[in-house]
A and B are shown apart, each in its own frame.
Chain A
Amino acid sequence: MAKPMFARRLSKELKDLAMNPPAGVDIIDANDFKVWKLGLAGAPGTLYEGEKFQLEFNFGPNYPLESPQVLFVGDNVPIHPHIYSNGHICLDVLYNHWSPVQTVASICLSLQSMLSSCTSKERPPDNANYIKTARANPKHTAWAFHDDTV
């Protein structure tokens, strides 16, 4: 086999993202199969309308068998009860609900829907404590997912 699995899969995903990007998503930087930067625009009619965010995807050689590392980067990290100010995102599909049928596009859709359903812009209550102790890689956090509706 010419290309390793993650490269084959990611080249297809990249092509698909470029041709049919989910609403509000654009590719900022995807020059290799290690790190991608995507833009995510807050959906019209939601608390995040008009805001622009940046997402970073880090892929390991076991992608898609293992989940990518996904976090918000840049100056504007969305203020949301499930998003820490260091960019870490509390979303089950990124961790223990990851399955290889997820794609970069499906993650973007999940994040877009997480933002769109938000009714109150605030940080997680344990934000200050968390960002002091968290590792750079959010996959090393032992997450507990309580409420998907916030």
Chain B
Amino acid sequence: MHEHQEPTPETFSTPVLSTTTATATAVAAEAAVPGAMLATPANESTTAQSLSTASQEPRQGEPTAQSNEIQLTDEQILTQMQAIKDEEANAHPLVDNSVDLTELEKEYENGSQAFKNKIKNLSDTHDRMRRSRGDGNCFYRAIAFAWFERVMLAKTKPELYTHAIKAMEESKDLLLAAEFEPLAFEDFYAVTLETLESVPTSTPEALLTAFQTDEISNSIVMHFRLVASAYLKTHQEDYAPFLEFGQTMDEYCSMHVEAMGRESEEMMLIALTKAMHIGIEVAYLSGNQSADEVNFLPFSPDTEPYMPPLVLLYRPGHYDILYRKSHCLEGVV
């Protein structure tokens, strides 16, 4: 048996918020306490929805729009959806230019003192950041870009490229081991591999352009999603206990990992860390802790990592890339 609500598209109510407004919302909503492994940060999905204007499948339980509104044709709805997407695309590239960390401070000019102190502390060890569009894919896009960028900028360390290529090839084996159909993943894999193979002869500008191009950028995001999903599926015994009662890993992965626009949870971070043999450190910036220190949560691979950890900035519901000063000094980034 099934029911349905009044057939109204999600587009009517899709808000277009500027980053600043969205951030303010995130800040106002008491942030989740980070640190508990595998806990979904509270507010993640709500914040993500307000941040995200990209088209997503109607979510269950999502409030439907006013039923007495004029009914639009499918054609009009599509046009409207496209307009919203275009607006978002013009406002925020999928991956932005890197900016000085003072830009982050500016966002919180009118924010709480706790935030200002934390950013101040963060800027002792980190000097730049790079925004990833808040479309529900920000984690995957941020981590993929940071990884590619590392490989690109490490021209003095050619072995890094060799490691990266090896990790890519292994990721394909992982997808096969998880019994994904080659037909369904090979296009995403091919685009990701092609982008990686172009790195030694390409430029940082060209890499950024690639990540700002929908088809390339989304294919790479998709590949990273499938890798995370494949890792979880092939290590069910370790991760199934974290699922909701009655949910299978396949169901979880198809709904929360493989589908574009679905927010990541810590399980996906762990999976990618292990599958790609990279360390990730997440700086949690939230307003609810009294300490002025920013809380860093490290995720480490099982194997010896071939590059220093990639650093992400997490604010409830959103990930961006952070640049650590010491990494620059080492000539890594």
Binding site for B on A (CB under 8 A): 1, 4-5, 8-9, 12-13, 16, 62, 64-67, 81-82, 90, 93, 95-103, 106, 124-126, 130, 133-137, 139-147, 150
| Bound CA span A98–B222, Å | 13
Query: Would you call B14 an interface residue if the criterion is a C-beta within 8 Å of the partner chain's C-beta atoms?
Result: no
Q: Establish whether residues B185 and A142, one from each chain, have CB atoms under 8 Å apart when the complex forms.
A: no
> Considering residues A4, A12, A13, which has the most beta carbons from chain B within 10 angstroms of its beta carbon?
A12
Chain B residue at minimal CB-CB distance from A130: B4
Q: Establish whether residues A96 and B255, one from each chain, have CB atoms under 8 Å apart when the complex forms.
A: yes
State whether A98 and B2 are in contact (beta carbons under 8 Å apart), knowing that A137-B74, A140-B8, A142-B8 are contacts in the complex. Answer: no
| Least Cβ–Cβ distance between B193 and chain A, in angstroms | 13
Chain A residue at minimal CB-CB distance from B256: A99
Q: Which residues of B contact A106 (CB under 8 A)?
A: 181
Q: Which residues of B contact A142 (CB under 8 A)?
A: 4-8, 58, 60, 62, 64
Q: Establish whether residues B187 and A102, one from each chain, have CB atoms under 8 Å apart when the complex forms.
A: no
State whether A150 and B1 are in contact (beta carbons under 8 Å apart), knowing that A5-B215, A101-B180, A103-B184 are contacts in the complex. Answer: yes
Number of A-B residue pairs, CB cutoff 8 Å, is 117
State whether A140 and B184 are in contact (beta carbons under 8 Å apart), knowing that A1-B215, A99-B254 are contacts in the complex. Answer: no
Q: Establish whether residues A144 and B4, one from each chain, have CB atoms under 8 Å apart when the complex forms.
A: yes
How many interface residues does B have (CB within 8 Å)? 39
Q: Which residues of B contact A101 (CB under 8 A)?
A: 180-181, 184-185, 226, 254, 258
Of the candidates A4, A90, A102, A133, the one whose C-beta lies within 8 Å of that of B184 is: A102
Q: Establish whether residues A16 and B2, one from each chain, have CB atoms under 8 Å apart when the complex forms.
A: no
| Least Cβ–Cβ distance between B284 and chain A, in angstroms | 29
A-B contacts, 12 listed (Cβ < 8 Å): A5-B191, A64-B184, A81-B1, A82-B2, A95-B58, A124-B1, A130-B4, A134-B7, A135-B7, A142-B62, A147-B1, A147-B2
State whether A125 and B1 are in contact (beta carbons under 8 Å apart), knowing that A97-B254, A98-B259, A142-B64 are contacts in the complex. Answer: yes
Of the candidates A90, A103, A125, A140, the one whose C-beta lies within 8 Å of that of B183 is: A103
Q: Establish whether residues A135 and B74, one from each chain, have CB atoms under 8 Å apart when the complex forms.
A: yes
> Considering residues B1, B2, B5, B218, which has the most beta carbons from chain A within 10 angstroms of its beta carbon?
B2
Nearest 5 Cβ contacts at the A-B interface: A99-B258, A101-B184, A142-B5, A99-B254, A141-B7
| Least Cβ–Cβ distance between B294 and chain A, in angstroms | 34
Chain A residue at minimal CB-CB distance from B180: A101
State whether A100 and B57 are in contact (beta carbons under 8 Å apart), knowing that A5-B215, A9-B187, A143-B4 are contacts in the complex. Answer: no
| Bound CA span A102–B180, Å | 9
Interface residues of B in 257-295 (CB under 8 A from A): 258-260
Q: Establish whether residues A100 and B260, one from each chain, have CB atoms under 8 Å apart when the complex forms.
A: yes
| Bound CA span A100–B225, Å | 10
Of the candidates A1, A93, A133, the one whose C-beta lies within 8 Å of that of B7 is: A133
Q: Establish whether residues B3 and A126, one from each chain, have CB atoms under 8 Å apart when the complex forms.
A: yes
| Least Cβ–Cβ distance between A138 and chain B, in angstroms | 9
Query: Would you call B9 an interface residue if the criterion is a C-beta within 8 Å of the partner chain's C-beta atoms?
Result: yes
| Least Cβ–Cβ distance between B13 and chain A, in angstroms | 12
Q: Which residues of B contact A130 (CB under 8 A)?
A: 4
Q: Which residues of B contact A4 (CB under 8 A)?
A: 215
Q: Which residues of A contact B188 (CB under 8 A)?
A: 100
Q: Establish whether residues B60 and A65, one from each chain, have CB atoms under 8 Å apart when the complex forms.
A: no
| Least Cβ–Cβ distance between B158 and chain A, in angstroms | 27
Interface residues of B in 229-256 (CB under 8 A from A): 251, 253-255
State whether A136 and B74 are in contact (beta carbons under 8 Å apart), knowing that A5-B187, A100-B222, A145-B2 are contacts in the complex. Answer: yes
Of the candidates A67, A96, A100, the one whose C-beta lies within 8 Å of that of B59 is: A96
> Considering residues A90, A135, A146, which has the most beta carbons from chain B within 10 angstroms of its beta carbon?
A135
Q: Which residues of B contact A95 (CB under 8 A)?
A: 57-58
Q: Establish whether residues B2 and A146, one from each chain, have CB atoms under 8 Å apart when the complex forms.
A: yes
| Least Cβ–Cβ distance between B74 and chain A, in angstroms | 5
6 A-B pairs besides A5-B219, A140-B7, A142-B64 with CB distance below 8 A are: A95-B57, A99-B253, A99-B255, A124-B2, A130-B4, A140-B74
Of the candidates B2, B6, B180, the one whose C-beta lies within 8 Å of that of A90 is: B2
| Bound CA span A65–B181, Å | 15
Chain B residue at minimal CB-CB distance from A140: B9
State whether A140 and B77 are in contact (beta carbons under 8 Å apart), knowing that A5-B215, A97-B254 are contacts in the complex. Answer: yes
